[in-house]
Structure 1
Amino acid sequence: MPHTQRTSRPSFGIMTAPSQVDYPDILRVWREADAIPEIEHAWLFDHLMPIFGDPNGPTYEGWTLLSALAAHTARMRLGVLVTSNRFRPPAMLARIAATVDVVSGGRLDFGIGAGSRPSHPLARREYEAHGLPFHDAEHAVGSLAEACTVIRRLWTSDEPFDFDGTYVRLTGAYGKPKPVQRPHPPIMIGGRSSATLRVVAEHADLRNIPGGGPVDDLVRRSTLLDKYCAEIGRDPASIVRSIHLPVSYDQPGHTRDAIGEAVDAGFGHVILGLPAPYPTNVARWVADEFIGTTPTYRG
């Protein structure tokens, strides 16, 4: 079994992909969820163009939308699942995230990852459409590690600094205002490759992986993360294991089974992806249908 050595209830949240949907619909769901204590966190994704449905449909920029939703909610933790490190320079991203943490009153969970795989054609096109370079996997993972270092330092350093990395170079870097949370917002890194898991071991407070595949693979990845933590002398239990699971409105039993498998495998942070259009009172339905029936988990 993965890392945890406790018996407890998992933390549950929702994810509303800001694509092929209108802003008032997302806002409605987040406001509903914010009033339901069983739903502890809420998430958006980070794409610049649709990756499902009508390729010419609407997609909102995730961090801009997150700031608006932070201003309209009061309790839930919130984040982007996960930010593409390919889209924004890390010093700019640190400033954006600090702003959201201030707006939310210290509720940000900072999600970041290497960015979309080159094999995903609908994701690949958003780089060319926005004039963004698309580097290979080695560059993506290496720059992710440097970005995590720089972002944390911008959140915590009281003095300007220079950074001369392989991928990131800064002169006189300084971040203010600082995030509300001290020493900084929790860092969630998403990904499943072994190279990314090494970055997780060094930098993350939470590690997220998409579910839907064989649970044995999820366990193997978690065990590999344990190994990488041991190699650098880090307690594997200090990294919360998070999973994203799609919700089926028509066949909730399938979702319930997937949640049960994830909980049994030691995942203590569960994010339920809600497809649009969102039914009326969908947040209450999620809480009653899935969260209230979930047992404790053992790591």
Structure 2
Amino acid sequence: MPHTSLPRFGIMTAPMQVDYDDIQRVWREADTIPEIEHAWLFDHLMPIAGDPNGPIYEGWTLLSALAAQTSRLRLGLLVTSNRFRPPAMLAKIATTVDIVSAGRLDFGIGVGSRPSHPLARREYEAHGLPFHDSAHAVGSLAEACTVIRRLWTEAEPFDFHDTHLDLTGAFGNPKPVQRPHPPIIIGGRSSATLRVVAEHADMWNIPGGDIDDAVRRSALLDRYCAEIGRDPASITRSMHLPVSYDQPSATQDAIGEAIDAGFGHIVLGLAAPYPADVAAWVADKLIRTATQTIQTI
């Protein structure tokens, strides 16, 4: 597949089993490295790996703090759980972060925690949050995307009454810095979620690991776009890939496969503890290597 443009690389630091100072160190370093264009956190309320009672930070408040300490990186949550916060409240939170960051927010959202993950379900019971079935969750996501966009863009209060959301006099002020609104990135792989992606997303993210499945899902997204008359090329394809510090060649191979499959937005997941100068290492061993390979093709 010919490469018409260079991919955009970023990092993700899952804010669990790690100290705030360590995440802050990595983001500040990454902010000085042009090859790293974006940085991400995830959205869980309890650890999903390691010590189940270990430390974990709330994603949006941590993101706002990091937004205030960086100046160049685009930033976001990969991805926000639509199950955790009412969408109108989430729109206000995201607007605040876009303003704090001077317009650098990429708004990531998804259905919510993976119900099959053995440690993901407990965070709902522990925080008094309902956990609805998948059909409810996907329907709620579609309505949330509609409401959030309207709160970001509409100049007058509005009412919204649908299956899952019931708002009266909804209004967002101030508006985000970005116009018409921050880019919307939706994460997920189910066919139902991909229909929401086709309708609402500027970018789609899927975890790496099974490149053949990712290619099939991308083709399905193309089909759903065609069904509603949308250009599939208007949705950027994004993939999250875990980084191996010990075997960088394995990560390099995964990056090459993702790019060849049409994924031009690559998120490199960094495992804690983070080595010293890890952002510089990522830029040197992974990003520059991948870019040089592409440029020689």
Q: What CA distance in whole angstroms lies between the structure 2 residues aligned with 1:178 and 1:100?
A: 11
The answer on whether the counterparts of 2:74 and 2:106 sit within 8 Å (CA) in structure 1 is yes
Partner of 2:294: 296
CA separation of 1:169 and 1:296: change in aligned 2, threshold 3 A? farther
Q: Does 1:60 align with 2:57?
A: yes
Partner of 2:121, secondary structure, is helix
Partner residue of 1:159 out of 151, 156, 159 = 156
Partner residue of 1:226 out of 222, 226, 235 = 222
Matches within 5 A, 1:154-193: 154-193=151-190
Q: What CA distance in whole angstroms lies between the structure 1 residues aligned with 2:123 and 2:253?
A: 34
Q: What CA distance in whole angstroms lies between the structure 2 residues aligned with 1:282 and 1:71?
A: 21
Partner of 1:149: 146
Shift of 1:39: 0.2
Partner of 1:137: 134
Unaligned runs of 5+ in 1: none
Partner of 1:39: 36
Indicate the percent of aligned positions where both proteins have the same amino acid: 81
Residues 151-171 of structure 1, C-alpha deviation per residue, up to 9 Å, x if partnerless? 000000110000001001100
Q: Does 1:274 align with 2:270?
A: yes
Which protein has greater RCO, CA pairs closer than 8 Å, 6+ apart? 1
Q: What CA distance in whole angstroms lies between the structure 2 residues aligned with 1:87 and 1:196?
A: 17
> Number of residue pairs matched?
293
Q: TM-score, normalised by structure 2?
A: 0.97
Partner of 1:43, secondary structure, is strand
Q: What CA distance in whole angstroms lies between the structure 1 residues aligned with 2:145 and 2:86?
A: 11
Amino acid at match of 1:230: A
Shift of 1:6: 5.6
Partner of 2:195: 198
The answer on whether the counterparts of 1:10 and 1:269 sit within 8 Å (CA) in structure 2 is yes
Q: Does 1:260 align with 2:220?
A: no
Partner of 2:238: 242
The answer on whether the counterparts of 2:3 and 2:294 sit within 8 Å (CA) in structure 1 is no
Q: After the TM superposition, which segments of 4 or more aligned residues of structure 1 sit over 2 Å from their partners?
A: none
Q: What CA distance in whole angstroms lies between the structure 1 residues aligned with 2:232 and 2:127?
A: 38
Partner residue of 1:108 out of 97, 105, 109 = 105
Shift of 1:296: 3.4
Residues 242-284 of structure 1, C-alpha deviation per residue, up to 9 Å, x if partnerless? 0000000011111111001001101000000000000010000
Partner residue of 1:30 out of 27, 32, 45 = 27
Q: What CA distance in whole angstroms lies between the structure 2 residues aligned with 1:282 and 1:20?
A: 17
Q: Does 1:15 align with 2:12?
A: yes
Partner of 2:81: 84
Q: Does 1:75 align with 2:101?
A: no
The answer on whether the counterparts of 1:10 and 1:296 sit within 8 Å (CA) in structure 2 is no
Amino acid at match of 1:21: V
